[in-house]
């Protein structure tokens, strides 16, 4: 099956853009999608401007500056390059690309949040039960 026929292919997360997301590869016979369409992905890298009426969801700082994840961010709200920031799905569902379900996190906060919440963990052929992840305590 091609990405064009994939019923799970989400729409671009940017406000005002309704194009379908771009595939970033395949894992175990399942497509993995970026949260953006191809045009917005390239616009975010500075290759060209966003289309008229489209506003990016990704911010230029880590949104955990307020400690919303239960620990302090090491970046202290400093403006960062896009390459050091990730777009995180709050509920862990990578197909749920609505702006209210997305937050911009630095790579450190994103890794800690993912580990603490067990995002992306699921049973596989080597385990019958996924162990509950422990909360991350950084002091």
Using pLDDT thresholds of 50, 70 and 90, give the confidence band for residue 132.
very low
- CA-CA distances (angstroms) from residue 98 to 36, 59, 88? 11, 15, 11
Classify burial at 45, counting beta carbons within 10 Å of its beta carbon; exposed 0-12, middle 13-18, buried 19 or more. exposed
Q: Quick check: 1 pLDDT over 50?
A: yes
**Residue-wise pLDDT tens digits, 75-84:** 988 999 888 9
**Residue-wise pLDDT tens digits, 100-131:** 999 999 999 999 998 888 776 654 433 333 34
Over its C-alpha atoms, the chain yields an Rg (Å, rounded) of: 16
**pLDDT: which is higher, 79 or 32:** 79
Compute the distance between CA of residue 8 and CA of residue 95 in angstroms, rounded to an integer. Answer: 7
**pLDDT: which is higher, 117 or 99:** 99
Compute the distance between CA of residue 10 and CA of residue 97 in angstroms, rounded to an integer. Answer: 7
């Amino acid at each position: 099956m091609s990405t064009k026929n994939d019923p799970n292919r989400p729409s671009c997360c940017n406000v005002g853009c309704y194009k379908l997301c771009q595939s970033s590869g395949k894992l175990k016979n399942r497509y993995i999608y970026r949260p953006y369409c191809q045009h917005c992905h390239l616009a975010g890298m500075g290759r060209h401007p966003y289309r008229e009426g489209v506003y990016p969801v990704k911010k230029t700082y880590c949104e955990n500056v307020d400690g919303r994840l239960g620990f302090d961010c090491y970046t202290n709200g400093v403006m960062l390059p896009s390459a050091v920031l990730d777009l995180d799905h709050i509920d862990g569902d990578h197909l749920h690309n609505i702006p209210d379900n997305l937050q911009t996190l630095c790579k450190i906060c994103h890794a800690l949040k993912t580990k603490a919440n067990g995002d992306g963990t699921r049973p596989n052929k080597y385990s019958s039960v996924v162990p509950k992840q422990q909360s991350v305590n950084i002091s």
